[in-house]
Structure 1
Amino acid sequence: MEDLKRRKIALQMPPKPAPHIFDWLIEIGLTEAAGMGAVPISSRELAAWQSNTCVRLAPWEARLIRELSKAYLAEGRRAEDETCPPPWGAPVTAHDREIEEAQLRSLLG
């Protein structure tokens, strides 16, 4: 983030048409812990959250929250590859690649 600010690159974020859904997702937790790592939010966890907060999710909201949790995990796993581009940026162009390679050559000599 600091590098982007220093290079004066604006962070491009996708539109957020239903901010309450994202707020609930963050409140519930993006994922659940499981025996071998993180898993998507379960229906059981959603039901417990609804019971504890007295918020009643519409079926489509519950499905969307679970899908967002799945997408978050999938992107996290995809991002483990060092060549994975950031999800908020524009696709990497040949020109971008040339600039990065030139910077790397100048550092390595």
Structure 2
Amino acid sequence: MPECRAHHIIEYLLDVGLSLGENALTHTELQSWQNNTGTILKPWESRLMKRLSGIYLSEYRESSDSEKETAWEEAPHYMCMAYRKMIRSKNSLRKLAE
């Protein structure tokens, strides 16, 4: 994973919640979180958290597509598309053999 220079943003995002179900975080949700925790976000931090929430949801939705390759370059072998296809083929052959 790439180095993160603003790791506090990731910590905040995990505390707030990455998303609101099927929707990205809203300014209202972030304001409520700030009021409840006493945390004061700078405008750029708030914008970044909203953006990261949207990116998270987009990647989450795309990850349900088993034909899509993982975006993580150093992903373990079992996460790559070729490995998943091999396992599906192997399972199909096992079913045929039954």
Would you say same fold, with TM above 0.5?
A: yes
Match in the other structure for 2:7: 19
1:75 to 55, 59, 75: 59
| Offset of residue 14 of structure 1 | 2.2
Match in the other structure for 2:16: 28
Aligned identity (percent) is 36
User: In 1, Cα distance between the equivalents of 2:73 and 2:53?
Assistant: 21
Give runs of ≥4 in structure 1 deviating > 4 Å: none
When the two structures are superposed, what TM-score results if normalisation uses the length of structure 2?
Answer: 0.74
Higher percent of residues as helix? 2
Aligned length: 86
Question: Structure 1: which 5+ runs fail to align?
Answer: 1-12, 91-95
Question: Structure 2: which 5+ runs fail to align?
Answer: 75-79, 94-98
- Aligned-residue Cα RMSD (Å) equals 2.7
Render the CA deviation track for 1:53-102: whole Å, top value 9, x for unaligned: 11110000000000000000000111121111112225xxxxx98x75xx
